[in-house]
């Protein structure tokens, strides 16, 4: 199932899954067609302790106290996830960026 991810943070975010680079530009929406990538990158659908581990890996959760958790959640909550219909390409969603492996530089 394809999922649209809107990054409402003021910074770009990049991560990897299964040998592919995933880019989440600030203020833009992208489509991820591999739902398992979002589980790996964001902990989408996982219990909160496992999401905290993902936030720490990303550098958003610096301290495991109330302030650190609040700061980490503020960043995490600025990623908005929306499931797309199976025929999302035919419904005009192609204006949304898709994720691709960056070109290798020569």
Kindly tell me if the per-residue pLDDT of 94 is higher than 60: no
Residues 19/31/15/26 CA torsion (nearest 10 deg): 150
Q: What tens digit of pLDDT does each residue of 40-78 get? A: 999 999 998 899 999 999 999 887 788 888 999 999 999
Domain boundaries, the chain: 3-98
Q: What is the pTM assigned to this prediction?
A: 0.81
Helix, strand, or coil here: 5? Answer: strand
CA distances from 91 to 30, 82, 86, 96, 99 (A): 15, 15, 10, 11, 18
Position 12 confidence tier, pLDDT thresholds 50, 70, 90? very high
Q: Which residues contact 64 (CB under 8 A, 6 or more apart)?
A: 52
């Amino acid at each position: 199932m394809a999922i649209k991810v809107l990054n409402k943070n003021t910074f770009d975010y990049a991560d990897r899954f299964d040998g592919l680079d995933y880019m989440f530009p600030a203020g833009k929406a992208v489509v991820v067609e591999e739902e398992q990538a979002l589980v790996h990158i964001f902990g989408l659908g996982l219990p909160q302790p496992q999401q905290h581990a993902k936030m720490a890996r990303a550098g958003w959760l610096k301290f495991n106290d109330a302030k650190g958790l609040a700061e980490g959640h503020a960043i995490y909550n600025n990623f908005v996830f929306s499931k797309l219909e199976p025929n999302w390409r035919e419904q005009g969603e192609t204006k949304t960026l898709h994720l691709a492996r960056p070109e290798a530089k020569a």
